[in-house]
Amino acid sequence: MEAEQVLALGLGVTAPWRLVSQHLDTEKHPHELHLRLEADRGALFACPVCGRACKAHDFSEFRWRHLNFFQHHCYIAARVPRTECPEHGVKRITVPWARDGSGFTLLFEQVALMLAREMPVQVAARHMAITDHRLWRIIRHYVGQALERLDLSEVKAVALDETAAKRGHTYVTIFIDLERKARPVVFATPGKGKETVARFKDFLTAHHGQPGRIAEVVCDMSPAFLAALGESFPRASVTVDWFHVVQIFTRAVDDVRKAEARQVKMPSAVRWAVLKAKERTLTPKQAAALWPNWKTVEC
């Protein structure tokens, strides 16, 4: 088997396309492998609108970055035809190895997306040797495509919570579908105020959901959220997340302890002794701080 056949096999090129030349450019660092694909002379191509086999009207040169060939960057070049369909006129075809308008092959994009799922985009971009700007464009395309298919017509119970992004005071509010077992996150938006609830309502409506169908919402006790939910989802009963209730009680107990400590000096172990009193796992020091007559029994 010749080298070109091996490469063609690896690329998965099918008729009428075939690999006609390969060239390793050692002047560049890292080295670049350039592959040229060509369609058989006189081949017919499917009209991108109706699929009818049509003659080529004309050709234009295109180039795509492909997955590395060992440590060398790899590029594919080809002259891509426009078909002349009697019904739809002159249209550029989509080649089988890349999507329209992309400077990368489908395989390259697939690997880039896989990496971006596992690590920060900037790190993934470095591994793929492209700018993070270009990787973001790939991600936005596929995420946008997936979002277009998202069907929220069955959603009737959601939970929302804000989380800090990028370590600081930048917040993102996340909305999850409480009945969706796999990939429950259905919407995420910058901010943590009432505008996030209004944005979710618009998003839900744009994806076949009905605000009037939402019967249950779980959230924290933020007054902004509670007021906005009443406006956007008037039929939903709101449940406050137990984690936030416990958090508020814990803070209140601690405030009382601090206020009392200012009046009467207390042992330092009192703080955790009060917070853990119900758990029965106090250290001897904590127990003694709560009950001065408590004695450690040595076994």
Residues at the interface with Zn ion (CB under 5 A): 47, 49-50, 52, 85, 87-88
Nearer to Zn ion, 88 or 276 (CB): 88
Nearer to Zn ion, 95 or 288 (CB): 95
Cα 283 to chain centroid distance, Å, stands at 44
- Helices first, then strands: H and E counts in the chain: 9, 12
Nearer to Zn ion, 84 or 216 (CB): 84
Shortest approach of Zn ion to residue 141 CB, angstroms?
A: 25
Three state DSSP letters for 25-60: ECCCCCCEEEEEEEECCCCCEECCCCCCEECEEEEE
Shortest approach of Zn ion to residue 47 CB, angstroms?
A: 3
Nearer to Zn ion, 87 or 148 (CB): 87
Q: Which amino acid, residue 248?
A: I
Nearer to Zn ion, 85 or 125 (CB): 85
Residue whose pair of structure tokens reads 């690329």 in the numeric block: 11
Burial class (CB in 10 A: 0-12, 13-18, 19+), 158: buried
Coil/strand/helix, residue 193: coil
DSSP state of 179: T
Shortest approach of Zn ion to residue 81 CB, angstroms?
A: 14
Shortest approach of Zn ion to residue 138 CB, angstroms?
A: 29
> Residues, the chain, total?
299
Shortest approach of Zn ion to residue 109 CB, angstroms?
A: 27
